[in-house]
Amino acid sequence: MATYQLISSDSHIIEPADLWQERIDRTFRDRAPRLVHEAEADQWYADGVKFGAIGINQQAGVRFETPEHLTLQGRMATVPRGGFDPHAHVQDMDRDTVAGGVLYPSQGLTTYRIPDSALLSAIFRAYNDWLADFCQPYPQRLKVGAVEFEVAWAPYFLARMDNLCTEQAIGVHGRHFKGDAIPSDFFRQNIFLSFQEDAVGIQLRALLGVETLLWGSDYPHAESTFPRSRAIVERILQGVPDEEKAQIAGGNTARLYRFN
């Protein structure tokens, strides 16, 4: 049985229906995001702008049991409690053998469609205040961040950047970095990549640096590995040395986000 610790670098909350009506600055209360119960699904609007999708953001585990039920549409009434309640969220983490998580929004990921920057800033402030309260009961298990990627694409682009810098005219005759550094050196020193089920990326890990790779579950979204995260990670990391498994499955995320 695997003994390494799972820490998700990519998990989500689902914003409750009253989040912005309750928490946004009073000046923006009339223009705050609101949930509208439409004929086919619930839909978020702010200042006349449509954003977000309820269905696919709340269907963790459905793809394993009843994939024919996956849908973009949905109702807040069927959102799993772990999406908005910290205690239920941690219970689901325990069920999935995940020790900690880095949290992102769900509906908030598309609020950038709202053109008014002052309103958008107020929306973000209200969300951040709510999220701080959400995390407060479990400060050592829930963190906040801003990365969400697969990884297999990266080695090709790193190779192309290095080639341009060292072998092509635009690089050879241009400015050089100190100490003969090349673009991939800066990548490995500064960039982390998150993945869910990218077995090909794991096979290419030596080209990226094991220390740059972070596993994430994407809970509670439809493509999440929940509730089979450990089995999926173990399959993807088959043949990887134990020390590297521990780094990729949780150690790198713990180091980046300073989990104790």
SS3 per residue for 160-196: HHHHHHHCCHHHHCCCCCHHHCCHHHHHHHHCCEEEC
Mean pLDDT rounded to a whole number for the chain: 92
Q: What is the pLDDT of residue 177?
A: 80
Handedness of CA 231, 235, 239, 240 (dihedral sign): negative
Secondary structure E strands in 26-185 = 34-37, 42-46, 49-51, 98-104, 142-144
| Euclidean distance between CA atoms 98 and 227, whole angstroms | 10
Residue 187 domain-assigned (yes or no): yes
Final residue in a domain of this structure, among 90, 123, 144: 144
| Euclidean distance between CA atoms 242 and 260, whole angstroms | 21
Residue 15 domain-assigned (yes or no): yes
Shared domain for 12 and 128, answered yes or no, is yes
Shared domain for 171 and 67, answered yes or no, is no
Residue 86 domain-assigned (yes or no): yes
Shared domain for 10 and 132, answered yes or no, is yes
Element (H, E) at 62: helix 62-65
What b-and-e string marks burial along 221-245, b requiring 16 or more CB atoms within 10 Å of the CB? Answer: bbebbbbebbebbbebbeebeeebb
Shared domain for 136 and 23, answered yes or no, is yes
Shared domain for 12 and 43, answered yes or no, is yes
> What six digits make up the tokens of 50?
């449509």
Shared domain for 128 and 216, answered yes or no, is no
Shared domain for 10 and 94, answered yes or no, is yes
Residue 179 domain-assigned (yes or no): yes
| Euclidean distance between CA atoms 221 and 211, whole angstroms | 26
Peptide bond into 220 cis (omega under 30): yes
Final residue in a domain of this structure, among 102, 118, 144: 144
Domain count within the chain = 2
Shared domain for 131 and 177, answered yes or no, is no
Shared domain for 117 and 198, answered yes or no, is no
Q: Which residues of the chain have pLDDT under 70?
A: 1, 144-148, 169-175
Shared domain for 110 and 136, answered yes or no, is yes
> What six digits make up the tokens of 206?
């030596």
Residue 245 domain-assigned (yes or no): yes
Instruction: Tell me if 257 sits within 8 A of 102, measured CB to CB.
Output: yes
Domain interval for residue 212: 154-257
Q: Residue 51 forms beta bridges with which residues?
A: 44
> What six digits make up the tokens of 195?
């993945």
Shared domain for 13 and 110, answered yes or no, is yes
Q: Which residue has the tokens 């690089």?
A: 171
What is the spatial order of strands in the sheet that 6-12 belongs to?
6-12, 98-104, 142-144
Shared domain for 99 and 167, answered yes or no, is no
Neighbours of 165 (CB within 10 A): 19
Q: What is the pLDDT of residue 55?
A: 86
Q: What are phi and psi of 3, to 5 degrees?
A: -110, -5
197 vs 111, 116, 120, 186, 214, CA distance in Å?
27, 37, 33, 26, 11
Residue 89 domain-assigned (yes or no): yes
Q: What is the pLDDT of residue 170?
A: 61
Residue 18 domain-assigned (yes or no): yes
Final residue in a domain of this structure, among 144, 178, 212: 144
Residue 1 domain-assigned (yes or no): no
Q: What is the pLDDT of residue 67?
A: 92
